[in-house]
Amino acid sequence: MNTLAEENYLKSIYHLSVNDGNASTNQIASSLNTKASSVTDMLKKLAEKALINYTPYQGVSLTPSGEKIAISIIRKHRLWEYFLVEKLNFKWDQVHDLAEEMEHISSEELIDRLDKFMGYPKHDPHGDPIPDCNGRFNTHELKPVSAVTVNQSGIISGVRDHSSSFLQYLDKKQLTIGCKIMITDIIEYDHSVVVQTGNKEVHISREVANNLLIAL
Amino acid sequence: MNTLAEENYLKSIYHLSVNDGNASTNQIASSLNTKASSVTDMLKKLAEKALINYTPYQGVSLTPSGEKIAISIIRKHRLWEYFLVEKLNFKWDQVHDLAEEMEHISSEELIDRLDKFMGYPKHDPHGDPIPDCNGRFNTHELKPVSAVTVNQSGIISGVRDHSSSFLQYLDKKQLTIGCKIMITDIIEYDHSVVVQTGNKEVHISREVANNLLIAL
DNA sequence: TTATTTTTTTAGATTAGTCTAAATTTTTTA
DNA sequence: TAAAAAATTTAGACTAATCTAAAAAAATAA
């Protein structure tokens, strides 16, 4: 199997290349809190193992086998997060770091049984889709609140920022996964957004609107 | 915190010194499948951190802080074993290696919540006592079947050998934790033992009798 | 109680992953 | 398109954990 460091690199490359299909050395370094030179060393090693496509100076992408490993780690991460929240009553802002550790427990049988035990959940506590045991995602089209027009409504279904402080802020404003909201106004001056949730109106900044995802 | 290797050494030293209060370099090496020279290196490091008492050539014992760490790892190991058997329906002979990995998940809060989730179990699937969150064991007096006299009866409550092959053998003979048994005969020639379990008589070797523990 | 065997430690090397500093390549900008 | 800036790689070093082989200490046996 792969080392912990290798798994973290693969996961980071996966997340970074979801958008443009490619991750740069510096992006990886900053996402893993390490130095570019360390990244270069590891990229050579992963390329050697045929887990990434690497041409010096050109950034990297995952090969099918690299992607398979990355997705399996993401599956573990999200299932453990679900477990921690649903079974052990952690709050959604407390589980990320714990799951970072738990995602490296290697057994696939364990994770498949955990999946079954919890009734095959489709989304983790932050709304991120949980891939099934074949690595397939149930992708739903989500939009940031900042990209929605006035008078549209939808269900809060995900976040882009997973930091505790953001999640705690959402808790305080009662903007949590599953809430139905309606965009009632967009302030042109600073792109902040006014949303209706239940009986209240909440005013959120552009940044928050950008990191809050809804299903229309 | 401590590295994975350090934790494994502390756990090994704990188990080895339960009997004679002391563990030798070679004992540790063989229990961790490593070489004596590697052990010496690590012992110096652990002594440096004041987790063990180490005098060259004289073997080692845990300091109170070393013991605290060892017990916390054992607590995690046994609680995860319980989880795997009771919640994920693994068999008792399948969980040891998985728990070896899971015992290194660092969060104490996680393990305390897991403990609560499962209703504070007192024994793991092999009958070993689970220390509470303060590191206290519920020690029960157990005897190997080989040390019991004819006509005595008791409840199977533990095993000394945790190997899959031994546990599978016990399953086949229906000699599992919680079974009431009675020793009906001891064969002088080879010290094998005949036990009554339910409606059946089972004949077990001296070695099996040695590794099977009962509460009288 | 000396010689032999066993156990343990030391010395020196290796691997994985990381680092800093310097060199190189690519990108940007003027 | 040449110079400057940014990104990336290389070179060389470090740490943790391990190894083999040799040396030293302790235990055992003659």
Chain A residues closer than 8 Å to B84 by CB: 110
Average pLDDT rounded to a whole number, residues B195-199: 89
Tell whether B21 is covered by a domain. yes
Q: Does A150 touch chain B (CB under 8 A)?
A: no
- CATH classification at residue B93: 1.10.10.10
Instruction: For residues A45 and A15, state if they share a domain.
Output: yes
pLDDT at B1 over 90: no
Domain count, chain B: 3
pLDDT over 90, % of chain B: 93
Interface size between A and B, measured as CB pairs under 8 A: 31
Tell whether B68 is covered by a domain. no
Instruction: For residues B131 and B162, state if they share a domain.
Output: no
Instruction: For residues A57 and A81, state if they share a domain.
Output: no
Q: Quote the domain boundaries for residue B27.
A: 4-62
Instruction: For residues B207 and B154, state if they share a domain.
Output: yes
Position B121 confidence tier, pLDDT thresholds 50, 70, 90: very high
Average pLDDT rounded to a whole number, residues B112-119: 98
Tell whether A67 is covered by a domain. no
pLDDT of residue A57: 95
Tell whether B69 is covered by a domain. no
Instruction: For residues A130 and A147, state if they share a domain.
Output: no
Instruction: For residues B185 and B207, state if they share a domain.
Output: yes
pLDDT tens, position by position, B61-108 = 999 999 999 999 999 999 999 999 999 999 999 999 999 999 999 999
Residue nearest to nucleotide D18 (CA to C1'): B38
pLDDT of residue A170: 95
- CATH classification at residue B160: 2.30.30.90
pLDDT at A199 over 90: no
Position A138 confidence tier, pLDDT thresholds 50, 70, 90: confident
Cα B120 off chain centre by: 18
Q: Could you tell me which residue, B200 or A79, shows the higher pLDDT?
A: A79
Residue–nucleotide distance: A157 CA to D27 C1' (Å) = 71
Mutation for B interface: A3, A7, A88, A95, most B CBs within 10 A: A88
Domain boundary among A23, A40, A62: A62
Q: Which residue of A has its CA nearest to B116?
A: A88
pLDDT at A30 over 90: yes
Q: What is the 3-state secondary structure (H, E, C) of chain A?
A: CCCHHHHHHHHHHHHHHHHHCCECHHHHHHHCCCCHHHHHHHHHHHHHCCCEEECCCCCEEECHHHHHHHHHHHHHHHHHHHHHHHCCCCCCCCCHHHHHHHCCCCCHHHHHHHHHHCCCCCECCCCCECCCCCCCCCCCCCEEHHHCCCCCEEEEEEECCCCHHHHHHHHHCCCCCCCEEEEEEECCCCCCEEEEECCEEEEECHHHHHHEEEEC
How far is the first Cα of chain A from the last one, in angstroms, to the nearest whole number?
A: 41
pLDDT at B140 over 90: no
Mutation for B interface: A7, A107, A112, A114, most B CBs within 10 A: A107
Residue A114 to residue B89, Cβ atoms within 8 A: no
Q: Does A89 touch chain B (CB under 8 A)?
A: yes
pLDDT at B157 over 90: yes
Average pLDDT rounded to a whole number, residues B36-61: 96
Chain B residues closer than 8 Å to A113 by CB: 88-90
Give A67→chain B minimum CA distance, Å: 24
pLDDT at A72 over 90: yes
Tell whether A117 is covered by a domain. yes
pLDDT tens, position by position, A32-47 = 999 999 999 999 999 9
Chain B residues closer than 8 Å to A119 by CB: none
Instruction: For residues A10 and A58, state if they share a domain.
Output: yes
Tell whether A131 is covered by a domain. yes
Mean pLDDT of chain A, nearest integer: 95
pLDDT of residue B138: 83
pLDDT of residue B139: 79
pLDDT over 90, % of chain A: 94
Residue nearest to nucleotide D10 (CA to C1'): A37
Residue–nucleotide distance: A27 CA to C23 C1' (Å) = 22
Position A19 confidence tier, pLDDT thresholds 50, 70, 90: confident
Average pLDDT rounded to a whole number, residues A62-67: 97
Chain A residues closer than 8 Å to B77 by CB: none
Instruction: For residues B107 and B159, state if they share a domain.
Output: no
pLDDT at A20 over 90: no
pLDDT tens, position by position, B7-17 = 999 999 999 99
Neighbours of A160 (CB within 10 A): 12
pLDDT tens, position by position, A90-108 = 999 999 999 999 999 999 9
Tell whether A70 is covered by a domain. no
Give B12→chain A minimum CA distance, Å: 21
Q: Is A180 strand, coil or helix?
A: strand
Instruction: For residues A150 and A211, state if they share a domain.
Output: yes
Instruction: For residues B46 and B25, state if they share a domain.
Output: yes
Q: Does A147 touch chain B (CB under 8 A)?
A: no
Instruction: For residues B50 and B103, state if they share a domain.
Output: no
Report ipTM for this prediction: 0.90
Tell whether A31 is covered by a domain. yes
Does residue B45 approach strand D to less than 7 Å at its CB? yes
Instruction: For residues B132 and B163, state if they share a domain.
Output: no
Average pLDDT rounded to a whole number, residues A59-87: 97
